[in-house]
């Protein structure tokens, strides 16, 4: 009985799962905001490149 009670009160595994969930949510937020930022930066650099007489780059596609 005491061993079962000790197992019930042990919270290390629960804390690890909570941290994993927080890290996953932060990763989703970062990907959500960084992707449009990357598109905007590509547009800015393409405008500079075209102004200097170069050819605009396109975003690489994944096969």
Residue 30 lies in a domain: yes
Q: Report the percentage of the chain scoring pLDDT > 90.
A: 16
For residue 59, is it within any domain? no
In terms of pLDDT, which residue wins out, 62 or 33? 33
pLDDT reported for residue 51? 87
pTM beyond 0.85, yes or no: no
Question: How buried is 43 (Cβ within 10 angstroms: 0-12 exposed, 13-18 middle, 19+ buried)?
Answer: exposed
What is residue 13's predicted lDDT score, i.e. its pLDDT? 67
Q: Tell me: the pLDDT tens digits for 19-37? A: 999 999 999 999 888 888 8
38 in a structural domain: yes
Q: Return d(Cα 57, Cα 15) in angstroms, integer.
A: 46
Residues 39/47, Cβ–Cβ less than 8 Å: no
Domain that holds residue 32: 2-51
How many whole angstroms separate alpha carbon 16 and alpha carbon 20? Answer: 6
Is 36 among the domain residues? yes
């Amino acid at each position: 009985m005491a061993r079962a009670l000790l197992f019930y009160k042990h919270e290390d595994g629960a804390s690890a799962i909570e941290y994993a969930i927080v890290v996953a949510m932060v990763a989703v937020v970062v990907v959500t905001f960084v992707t449009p930022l990357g598109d905007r930066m590509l547009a800015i650099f393409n405008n500079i490149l075209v102004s200097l007489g170069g050819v605009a780059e396109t975003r690489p596609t994944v096969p």
